[in-house]
Amino acid sequence: MNYRHVYHAGNFADVLKHAVLARLVTYMQGKDKAFRVLDTHAGVGFYDLSGVEAQKTGEWRDGIGRLLDGDLPAGVADILAPYLKVVHELNPQGGLTYYPGSPKLARMLFRPQDRLSAMELHPDDYETLHRLFDGDFQSRITHLDGWLSLGAHLPPKEKRGIVLVDPPFEIEGEYERLVDGLEKAVRRFPGGVYCLWYPLKKGAPIAQFHAALKATGIAKMLCAELSVKSDRETTGLTGSGLIVVNPPFTLKAELDVLLPFLKARLAQDRFASARSFWLAGENKAS
């Protein structure tokens, strides 16, 4: 309950997470039928990068700031277009003052038939999030432990959806909770698209986490990871990963274009790295 994302809004981890989320939303809109985005750990939804908290760390400067600093190759520009469209719409005067959290990003990409369910447990952050979406009939904001929503709020009545699970990793056992939560959710909503975020840092049990995910027997799981620096001299965040369950068939090829670019643009030292691969499903050995 101490984690406040405002200190990290727009950093390199947000860039990867939000670029992929925007692609998932866009893909779901390939069909006319409505869908729902369930955001289990939604935060406040909207960030002022000129505020005291964001300025204190300035992490956005090495994330979204670098992404906007310079031209983008054509293929990368196409992949990032939905994400950057929202960022530019929030900053109509140019520059970079405001940044969307995941619920705001998804909502700004919605069609009239699409819906948002956003969960937030922190009381102050819930109130801020609730005010942000007050009066918006396409959005439902709930004061709830997001882990509980993986049982109570699935399947969505639309029968189509994206489930974003982005916990703060404040306590021990969050990797295990991700696996357990995913298993529970997939039993209730097997056709959903799931996007699980996790941190990369020194000593993180990534191999065990991946093995536990494989052991679930879930048929299609795609992994994307981006590290911007070595973990040798820091115990802090050096990278992040995403597990996408039931990914769009186009996503692996898009990641193969996007990740090398993000590695080059966002690198903080020569040990930056990026990879995408199938944990389960298509071309597992790639």
The residues that are catalytic are 166
Least Cα distance to 20 among 225, 213, 176, 209 occurs for: 225
Q: Any residues with CB less than 8 A from the CB of 51 and at least 6 apart, and which?
A: 6
Side by side, the strands of the sheet bearing 36-39 are 139-143, 115-120, 36-39, 161-165, 193-200, 239-245, 221-227, 273-280
Tokens of 43: 């935060």
Burial of 273 by CB count in 10 Å (0-12 exposed, 13-18 middle, 19+ buried)? middle
Measured CA to CA, the distance from residue 285 to residue 211 in angstroms comes to: 14
DSSP string over 223-266 = EEEEE-S-STT-SS--EEEEEEES--TTHHHHHHHHHHHHHHHH
